[in-house]
Structure 1
């Protein structure tokens, strides 16, 4: 649902899930939870903001 609302491509969604999995691993969680996805999405926003500044 979030992927559709935010218009994320399959590639972007896959990258975000990989980051969320890393965040969950660092937190010692067995599964990816909403806070992990939220944090990963936040990092995506930071990355996008960085590319806008460079342009």
Structure 2
């Protein structure tokens, strides 16, 4: 996983709604599914097991 990939995800998926979600004290569980589909939850896992095969 590259920092650029993680930054792009945060910029596009998290930051646009962050302040409003914090104000309302809400969390969008769909963000976890999006993170998983991009390999952002377990980057250290081997690719054959759904990870990215890298170390953070």
Please give the TM-score of this superposition, normalised by the length of structure 2: 0.34
Please give the TM-score of this superposition, normalised by the length of structure 1: 0.34
Q: Which is helix-richer, 1 or 2? A: 1
